[in-house]
Homo-oligomer: A and B are copies of this chain.
Amino acid sequence: MTADTVTQVLDHVDATLDAALDRLLTLLRVPSISTDPAFAADCDRAAEALVEDLASLGFDAAKHPTPGHPMVVAHDADGPEDGPHVLFYGHYDVQPVDPLNLWHHDPFDPQIEDTPAGRVIRGRGAADDKGQLMTFVEACRAWKAVHGVLPIRVSMFFEGEEESGSPSLVPYMTAHAEDLKADLALICDTGMFDPQTPAITTQLRGLAKLELVVTAPDKDLHSGMYGGAARNPAHVLAKILADLHDETGACTLAGFYDGVPELTNAQRTQWETLGFDAAGFLGGVGLSIPAGEQGRSVLEMIWSRPTCEVNGMTSGYTGAGFKTVLPSKASAKVSFRLVGSQDPQAVLAAMRAHVAARVPADCTVEILDANGAPATVMPIENPAFEAARQALSDEWPRPAAFIGCGGSIPIAGYFQELLGMDALLIGFGRDDDQIHSPNEKYDLESFHKGIRSWVRVLDGLSRL
């Protein structure tokens, strides 16, 4: 295979970018919000659309039902026998869109906008994960259009429950291990280090989460008639949540830091060379004071330290005006980002104990939706990592970096545990993409050079 082989495909990508963009916009118009049952039919529509598109590329593509939203699995019908076999993973579901009033337009009416930083694709899912998912699909489309056959064997695996805890994922992967097994997993759900520096994410934080509901009186009460004498569940919940951190920013749960490793000197040195702009990172969201553990750098806080965050809480009257109610219930959704060998079940157990110790004897507490996945660390000695790093470095202004990621992508760990496959986490998102927030966007450059990057990675892997 010559350099021309790749150049021809890259030229085709450049020449057909508008058509690729139209295909992405069509997918973005489907409101596939997986956590809200009201959008189940839309999730199915998104899966169906991907099956049809992959079939049109000559893949054996099918939609597989689960207790939740369907899985999409596709195998290249005419791929080469030799070379590594890769399984590309992405997710077609998206986050909820509230608060809707903060969006500048309908989240599911995606727009191409000119911004001072360049053109962007604005809409829910543009970056997380439909835009990223399509960079790989379009790379395959272009390669096949030019050469007819992909340089390596490619299968694809898309789920529709990534934003709602992936309840069907492990059962499905376990039941269909043979169908999914390949030599290497490719995952496109992460970001660049900065707009000039592509990245391969080699360590991911795990996630443990639960919802707790405290019930004090068995009905909402008049705070004048009962206030003072009747227990207020909002006070109980506030105490539970306030006690989760001490004055140094550390989490107080018993044994929380068991299995949390210190950075190696090598890691510390490589991260320092990245010249991360902590002030700019916080300043970009209107903050200036790092909130995490004292004595840790911001990069450690988001890449290599565990966290404990309240993701939502509610109690009593939250509507317009004022209602002097003494609430019956108070609830909170709490999640933990995990690192090293922290055990999600141990963390959840410590949280249950923390809660139980703060709920008065005449109140009750329900723990709902408790689950978790451990952190993941990739073996960068696998030659695929260096091949991919070289391919990315050829496409972008600056050499690719091996980085950590604060987010949790449990699938990477599942590929290791259930299918014995390492995963290359390559993505083209940027810190300002506002994923999970109003006005999510994906830079047109991320999409365009993302497609080109995968063309180069496919080529690089074919040479192993």
Assess the A222–B311 pair: CB atoms within 8 A: no
Interchain nearest-CB distance for A337 vs B (Å):
5
A224 in contact with B242 given A230-B282, A311-B326, A327-B311 (CB within 8 Å): no
Is A11's CB within 8 Å of the partner chain B? Answer: no
Q: Please measure, in the bound complex, the distance between the C-alpha atom of A285 and the C-alpha atom of B222, giving whole angstroms.
A: 11
Q: How does the 8 Å CB contact mask read for A252-267 relative to B, with 1 for contact and 0 for none?
A: 0000000000000000
Question: Residues of A at under 8 Å CB distance from B?
Answer: 35-37, 95-96, 98-99, 102, 163-165, 205, 207, 209, 211, 216-232, 234-235, 237-239, 241-245, 278, 281-282, 285-293, 298, 301-302, 305-307, 309-327, 330-333, 335, 337, 360-363, 369, 405-408, 431, 434-438
Interchain nearest-CB distance for A406 vs B (Å):
5
Q: Knowing that A216-B287, A231-B287, A324-B436 touch, tell me 20 more A-B residue pairs with CB under 8 angstroms.
A: A35-B323, A102-B219, A209-B324, A216-B286, A219-B437, A222-B407, A223-B307, A224-B406, A228-B306, A229-B292, A230-B287, A231-B289, A234-B312, A238-B313, A241-B242, A287-B363, A309-B326, A310-B315, A311-B323, A313-B315
Contact for A228 among B216, B288, B307, CB less than 8 A:
B307
Residue of B nearest to A431 (CB): B225
Tell me which residues across on chain B come within 8 A of A226, comparing CB atoms. Answer: 285, 302, 406
Number of copies of chain A assembled together:
2
Tell me which residues across on chain B come within 8 A of A314, comparing CB atoms. Answer: 313-315, 318
Assess the B223–A335 pair: CB atoms within 8 A: yes
Tell me which residues across on chain B come within 8 A of A318, comparing CB atoms. Answer: 312-314, 331, 333
Q: Give the most central of A237, A281, A302, A309: most B CB within 10 Å.
A: A309
Assess the B319–A222 pair: CB atoms within 8 A: no
What would 8 A/B residue contacts be, using CB atoms closer than 8 Å?
A35-B320, A36-B320, A224-B408, A225-B406, A234-B332, A235-B244, A286-B362, A325-B436
Assess the B311–A312 pair: CB atoms within 8 A: no
Assess the B316–A322 pair: CB atoms within 8 A: no
Residue of B nearest to A296 (CB): B228
Contact for A322 among B217, B231, B293, B333, CB less than 8 A:
B333
Tell me which residues across on chain B come within 8 A of A312, comparing CB atoms. Answer: 234, 315-318, 323, 325, 327
Tell me which residues across on chain B come within 8 A of A319, comparing CB atoms. Answer: 35-36, 96, 98
Contact for A321 among B164, B282, B335, B405, CB less than 8 A:
B164
Q: Please measure, in the bound complex, the distance between the C-alpha atom of A102 and the C-alpha atom of B99, giving whole angstroms.
A: 26
